[in-house]
Structures are given as C-alpha cells and as structure tokens.
Amino acid sequence: MKTLATFAACALVITSAHAESILLRPAAVFDGQEMHAGWSVLVTDDKIAAAGANVSAPAGARTIELAGQTLMPGMIEGHSHMFLHPYNETSWNDQIVQESIALRTARATVHARKTLEAGFTTARDLGSEGAGYADVGLKQAIDSGIIPGPRLLIATLALVATGSYGPKLSTDVSVPQGAQEASGVEEVTRLTREQIGKGADIVKVYADYRWGSGESSRPTFSQEELNAIVQTARSAGRPTIAHATTPEGMRRATEAGVETIEHGDDGTPEVFRLMKQKGVALCPTVAAGDAISRYRGWKKGVDPEPPRIAAKRASVKAAREAGVTFAMGGDSGVFAHGENALEMELLVREHGFTAVDVLRQATSGNAAIFHLSDRGAIRPATLADLVAVQGDPTRDIAAVRDVRFVMKGGAIVRQP
C-alpha cells in the first residue's frame, strides 16, 4: 500500500508540472460538429477552459500560434489492434504462432506512439489477437506516462465459439488461438466475467467466422450464448461489440444487444434496418478490406475493382440508406498504425460521405457511441485532447494526414 501511495504522489507532481494555461491560436476550430474561423482555445491543466472568437490569454499563459491550421478534438480510432502489424509484413497466422508476446508488446509500444502522433488521442483496441492480456499492461504503461500512446479502451482476449477461429494448422497440433474459445451459456458467462475482471473495458464477440480456412463466414455463437455475454457484460457496466459480416451473425448480435457491429460486409437492407431500429452502430472498417485486397495483388487504379470491394461499397450504401449510425474505425494493424486516416479518406473518396460527416464520426460521433462524454468536442470542461492539421480538413479530408500539433490531456505531444 505504501508503494501505491508514493506512486499516487508522484503522479500528482507530474500533473502539476504542466499546470499552466496555454492559448492556442489556429486559423479555425472544428469543434466536433462545425468549423469556426477565427476561434482560439484556452487550455488550463488537462482541460479546455474556453473556446471562441474572443478568448484571450490570462496573465502568464503561453500562446502557441497555429497559423493556417485547423484545431480539432483529438481523433478517436474506433477499431485498432495494437498487437498486430501489417499482414504484408507477416501473415496473421505467423504473427499469432511465431511471434512472442514480448516481441509483439515491443511492437505495440511503437504502434501506440505512432497512433498518438497521427492525432488519434483515443483508440478502441478490439482484441489482443493471441497476445493474451498484454493490452492491459500496454494501457497501464500509457496511463502512467511510461510510454506515449492514446487513451485506450481495450477488449483483452475477445470471445470466439470453440473451433471457429484460428490459426488452424494440422489437426494434431494445438496452437494458441487469436481469441478465447468458449461454448455454452455457462462458459461464455464465466469467461466474460474473467475478461472483465482482468481489465476488459469492452467485451468483443465474434458472432460469425470462417469455420474452415477458405470457406465463407457462418454464424458461430447461438442466440442464447450471445444474450448471456451481452447481459453479463451489461451488468458489469461494459458494452459488448461484435465482429459480424453475415446477415445472420449481425442479426443475432443485434438482437442480443451489442452496441456496435464491426465490418458488416454482407449486411442486407433488412439487417441494417434492424440495427437502426435497435440503435446499433456500424464500424465498417473499409480500410482493412482495401489493404487486404492490395496485399493479394490488386493494383489499385490499374486493375478492375475486386468483387469484395464492390460488395463492400454496396453494403455501406445499404447501411447509410437504412439510417444506421457509423463509427469511424479502420482495423489498423491490418495496415500500418499511424495510417489511421486511411479509413477517413476512403469513406470520403469511395463511399460518398462528406469530409464533415467523417470528421464528426472520428470525434463527437465516436465519443457518443463509445460513451466518452469527456472528449470528442472542443468546449469548456472537455479533456484537452487536441490536434491541429495544416489547411481545412472539411474541404479536403487528406488534411488530417498533415498533423502539426498534438496535445493529450493538456500535455504537448507534438508541435512545429
């Protein structure tokens, strides 16, 4: 207990070291909803103290000029895997089987830094993919200031129906799986509790998957199992989210009460209407499919579009037409961490969203879906998680790649 008390005292000292006011003077502010030319933002300690056209610096405040830049809330990555790296470097199977948790954790510390430096001050990290509970330690290392990284919401092991996930090698060899296997209401309930007890902020289930390599996805957990997982998580104050690509997997997960569906590749108008009715958001991860198609040899802009890309566009369109709420998340890890803006660019360039739609999704939208009322907006009393990009991202979404300034909790991470 003594050690804990000492640690707490140190943490207070670190916080007070940047207990100062900083006035940020960009060309414009995107507050999570709208652009405001000529606004300034005053940060005091770890919070936003004031934002508007007539904000002046109190005595002793530092002023940082962000000429030609747009200041916006730190972006929120909705779907990352800090313990994966791009599959064109090492296949998913080999990462799970051949790479030690120590190696994967070392990589994860770099991935966390790159994500933060790219302007993503929060990430929903949806499963360690065979790296055990290492995400709990990664989050602790970030929160205690040992390494730089975004604020994490973690899913730890995630749950898969027994036999449904991978890697699948010879039937004679047992290899670690990319998520925790479970079957039956009693077991899924117990393992949901176990994951929460070890630090899961979110419970992730795979509602469908490929039972055999090379075949298409089919439902995995039964309705009763999914209901038990969601209800167990809910009574512990945790949301459940589902990987689902098939209409039946999506339907079961939605009926069970998950909060978001990840991917939704083969979603039908009918299942999207059900999601809309039940208030379930879609995190489409279009960047993951784009990356995987490129890894399989698709020369984008030269070759014809692969069928899965065209199918994905149709399902995203059907979800929009049904009025489903979109979360912004690209499945980073499939592609490089720090390239998180790829999802935003593709949503604008290839899926018909406006830049403002996507900027809202990545800030206030994700904050609302993920129950993060302390961030995603620039207004007094929200966390001073801020990013400035060169130019106007509401005109050209590519501006979100040109990050010049990042602040997390009032501490400057990156500046010109």
Contacts with Zn ion, residue ranges (CB under 5 A): 331
Report the nearest approach of Zn ion to the CB of residue 183 (Å).
Answer: 22
Which of 51/207 has CB closer to Zn ion? 207
Q: Which residues pair with 36 in a beta bridge?
A: 29
Report the nearest approach of Zn ion to the CB of residue 341 (Å).
Answer: 17
Report the nearest approach of Zn ion to the CB of residue 308 (Å).
Answer: 16
Cβ(324)–Cβ(282) below 8 Å: yes
Q: Cβ-closest residue to Zn ion? A: 331
Report the nearest approach of Zn ion to the CB of residue 243 (Å).
Answer: 7
Query: CA-to-CA distance for 362 and 414, rounded, in angstroms?
Result: 20
Which of 64/207 has CB closer to Zn ion? 207
Q: How many CB atoms lie within 10 A of CB 374?
A: 13
Report the nearest approach of Zn ion to the CB of residue 78 (Å).
Answer: 10
DSSP string, 309-374: HHHHHHHHHHHHHTTPPBPP---BTSS-TT-THHHHHHHHHHH---HHHHHHIIIIIHHHHTT-TT
Which of 36/337 has CB closer to Zn ion? 337
Task: Report which of 200, 356, 369 is spatially closest to residue 279, judged by C-alpha positions.
Answer: 369
Query: CA-to-CA distance for 200 and 135, rounded, in angstroms?
Result: 9
Cβ(179)–Cβ(206) below 8 Å: yes
Which of 78/257 has CB closer to Zn ion? 78
Q: Which CA distances in Å does 317 have to 20, 251, 327, 402?
A: 47, 18, 15, 29
Query: CA-to-CA distance for 340 and 120, rounded, in angstroms?
Result: 8
Report the nearest approach of Zn ion to the CB of residue 68 (Å).
Answer: 36
Which of 23/288 has CB closer to Zn ion? 288
Which of 260/382 has CB closer to Zn ion? 260
